[in-house]
Amino acid sequence: MKIDGRFWLTKDNESFLGSGRIELLKKIQNSGSINAAAKEMKMSYKAAWERINSMNKLADEPLITRTTGGKGGGGTTLTPYAYKLIKTYDRLNEVHRQFIDRFTEAGDDAEHLARILNRTFLTTSARNQLPSTIQSIKFNGLNADIELSLFRGCSLTSTITAKSTKNMGLHTESKVYAIIKSSDILILNEAPISSKNINILDGNIEFIEISQESIELSFRINENIVLIALLAKESATSLKIGSKAYALINTNDIIIGL
């Protein structure tokens, strides 16, 4: 068996947007015609118009603009509001699909599904929770080195126990989170000597907030990844906003989350 679920957006307790209605809007966008869009979807013009009319009644603004006659013979175009709705629906539907896909590993095991749900809704105090994909797993006695791929070629290595690796069902291509406490990140303004158990990431200091005892620092690696580091005040006096720096993270300080 496979867990599945349809995604609908409702308004005033009525069905508003679903995959079929979004597909109709997209075909109108491409063809410039309700009639042409209806034919592509193998439905009557009347059925297509009823769907559009139903959406229009619930929408905050009109979804289409119709023109008649003229040199081009008239047609139908989507309003800016309709484009916004399509973009919103597509993104929410993508997240919904990712949510459903996380349950496929459970099969027909209800208890396994319950454990997955518990992990899904778990929140942590760790400031850094980075979506990652496992590239490789190397077992070393009681431990396992997990190589993680982040956005735009950035990578990290996490060392966890071999038992945890097996209990979590981790494997190459698993989608996971690299969870790192802000206090476990060291920021230096000079390139350190490479070490087997230390991840070294280069980037730029984007923001610094100073308190009486510590410094909270925003460290940008690329356009998608920003780390938050909490440093002792005396150890970060030479760090400046906008300057190039290096983040050091021990492999044992990266927790793997599903």
Q: Does residue 1 lie within any of the structural domains?
A: no
Decide if 147 is inside a domain: yes
What's the total number of domains in the chain? 3
Q: What is the mean pLDDT of the chain?
A: 87
Distances in Å between the alpha carbon of 149 and those of 145, 172, 178, 247? 13, 11, 10, 17
Task: Find the domain containing 161 and state its range.
Answer: 125-179
Torsions phi, psi for 181 (to 5 deg): -70, 140
- pLDDT on residue 228: 94
Whether residues 205 and 215 fall in one domain? yes
- The answer to whether residue 245 sits within a structural domain is yes
How would residue 70 be classed by pLDDT, with cut points 50, 70 and 90? Answer: very low
- Kindly indicate the confidence band of residue 117, based on its pLDDT and cuts at 50, 70 and 90: low
Whether residues 193 and 237 share a domain: the answer is yes
pLDDT band at 75 (very low <50, low <70, confident <90, very high): confident
Assign 72 a pLDDT band (cuts: 50, 70, 90): very low
**In this structure, are 240 and 166 located in the same domain?**
no
Give the model confidence (pLDDT) of 122-149 as tens digits. 667 788 988 899 999 999 999 999 999 9
Percent of the chain exceeding pLDDT 70 equals 88
What average pLDDT does this structure show over 102-121?
65
Assigned domain for 258 exists: no
pLDDT digits (tens, 9 = 90+) for 9-37: 998 889 999 999 999 999 999 999 999 99
Same domain (yes/no): 174, 186: no
Give yes or no for a contact between 178 and 127, defined as CB atoms under 8 angstroms apart: no
What CATH number is attached to the domain comprising 231?
2.40.50.100
Give pTM, 2 decimals. Answer: 0.55
What is the per-residue pLDDT for 238?
Answer: 82
- Rounded CA-CA distance 26/48 in Å is 13
**Using one digit for the tens of pLDDT, what is the confidence trace for 223-250?**
888 999 999 887 767 889 999 999 999 9
Report residue 230 CA to chain centroid gap: 25
Tell me the C-alpha distance between 100 and 115, whole Å: 14
